[in-house]
Amino acid sequence: MVPLLPLLALASPAAPPPIDSGDTAWMLTATALVLFMVIPGLALFYAGMVRSKNILSVLMQCFAITGLISVAWVVFGYSLAFDTTGMQAGTVNLASFVGTFENAFLKNLTKESVIGAFPESVFITFQMTFAIITPALIVGAFAERMRFSAMLVFMLLWFALVYAPIAHMVWAGDGGLMWDWGVLDFAGGTVVHINAGVAGLVAALVLGKRHGYPGTPMAPHNLGYTLVGAAMLWVGWFGFNAGSAVAADETAGMAMLVTQVATAAAALGWMTVEWLTHGKPSALGIASGVVAGLVAITPAAGTAGPVGALVIGFSASIVCFFCATTLKRRLGYDDSLDVFGVHAVGGIVGALLTGVFAAPALGGFGRVTDIPAQVWVQAKGVGFTIAYTTVVTYVLLKLVGLVIRLRVDEDQEAEGLDLALHNERGYNL
């Protein structure tokens, strides 16, 4: 992600830079595609994987988070994530970790504000969609057992204290902690996927297992919805990755190509390894492989070439398959929809391999000449994000739990969250 806010600060208010209609049109399109990933994409992907008595609860959570984070982004989120006040390259201070409230309520935004070659309003909305999908991803880890009110309070606090600081450290530019380290995260492998996946695992552990898990069958009730949702995620991800070039240029074109290549490789990889280990390929498996590939190529989309994308996608599918199946069973945690196994693990694989395939010597388009050194930088970023997200997420859940009961009671869980929390049924048969 290119740090564009400094460009705005340098622009003369009396003579703003010219608007490029091509860049603007592409960023408008990319923004719509990323929102499409959440509603309806992620919402349907998750809704099909839960039991029929919980379909509306998952859809409701995705829609509510979309509204909640959109408002919070305007009030304080954009400022916390992208304000550069006090940032200085090579200097570690509070501004290295989080922005100020200098741009709260977007008070410095005008119709004429420009970032790069398109309106700042478009950039704000584009980044808003990233802020929306990240907490929405966490929903899959605690699906079917968290109270709606507790979910809303937790998500708002998590957005303010986890997502915004991590985004600032990685993307805000010179003076940002992980930016100064040299961490490469083109479109959110660290900021979005590792962040959300680790938070999801913490939430699943704090809330505990669903009643009856793993002995009671809890099969997805409508894999058709899940496949449709996965297809929407695949299409929308071009906005996610190619849009992160923040221009309609050669970087966006290559990001689109490697996104398709990695995702296809991951879909085939998951299908193949499942076929070999379980005897049959499954629809849920190929959908999971698609998402694993999309996640893994995200940090590398601006620097990897096609061959690197093949390796990243295939590698992620194999690692994520075993983490979402074998590892999950052995450790016994109830990550309902495999948020950790796919998003955190896929993000980690992608982040580390970004350090390898950003090297021109391996067909990449980055500036990496010392691969081991860059992999170490990537590992530092991964480790810091895991540690920070784990600690803050755990503390937030415990604090919210002191005020609002986190989990529905056993009778409500047995009845299903659709009726228990929303007094509605997904299916009236």
Contacts of 331 (CB under 8 A, 6+ apart): none
pLDDT tens, the chain, 429 aa long: 654 544 444 344 455 678 999 999 999 999 999 999 999 999 999 999 999 999 999 999 999 999 999 999 999 999 999 999 999 999 999 999 999 999 999 999 999 999 989 999 999 999 999 999 999 999 999 999 999 999 999 999 999 999 999 999 999 999 999 999 999 999 999 999 999 999 999 999 999 999 999 999 899 999 999 999 999 999 999 999 999 999 999 999 999 999 999 999 999 999 999 999 999 999 999 999 999 999 999 999 999 999 999 999 999 999 999 999 999 999 999 999 999 999 999 999 999 999 999 999 999 999 999 999 999 999 999 999 999 999 999 999 999 999 999 999 999 999 999 999 999 999 987
Distance CA 300, CA 357 (A): 8
Distance CA 203, CA 226 (A): 23
Distance CA 310, CA 69 (A): 34
* C-alpha radius of gyration, the chain, whole number: 21
Write down the H helix ranges in 298-409. 306-322, 328-331, 339, 345-357, 371-403
Distance CA 172, CA 186 (A): 12
Q: Would you list the DSSP string of 66-132?
A: HHHHHHHIIIIIHHHHH--TT--TT--SGGGT---STTGGGTT--TT-EETTEEHHHHHHHHHHHHH
Identify the pLDDT of residue 11.
41
Is residue 77 a contact partner of residue 130, using CB atoms and an 8 Å limit?
A: no
Measured in whole angstroms, how far is the alpha carbon of residue 378 from the centre of its chain? 17
Residue 12, classed as helix, strand or coil, is strand
Question: Is the torsion defined by CA of 353, 355, 356, 360 positive or negative?
Answer: positive
Contacts of 173 (CB under 8 A, 6+ apart): 3, 5, 6, 84, 87, 179
Distance CA 6, CA 82 (A): 10
Closest CA to 125 of 47, 70, 173: 70
Neighbours of 399 (CB within 10 A): 13
Residue 21, classed as helix, strand or coil, is helix
Neighbours of 277 (CB within 10 A): 11
Q: Would you list the DSSP string of 192-261?
A: IIIHHHHHHHHHHHHH-PPTTTTTS----S-HHHHHHHHHHHHHHHHHHHHGGGSSSSHHHHHHHHHHHH
Distance CA 346, CA 193 (A): 8
Identify the pLDDT of residue 8.
44
Neighbours of 273 (CB within 10 A): 19
Identify the pLDDT of residue 428.
86
Distance CA 19, CA 241 (A): 22
Whose structure tokens read 């793993």? 214
Closest CA to 393 of 209, 208, 202: 202
Identify the pLDDT of residue 110.
92
pTM score: 0.95
Residue 146, classed as helix, strand or coil, is strand
Identify the pLDDT of residue 10.
36
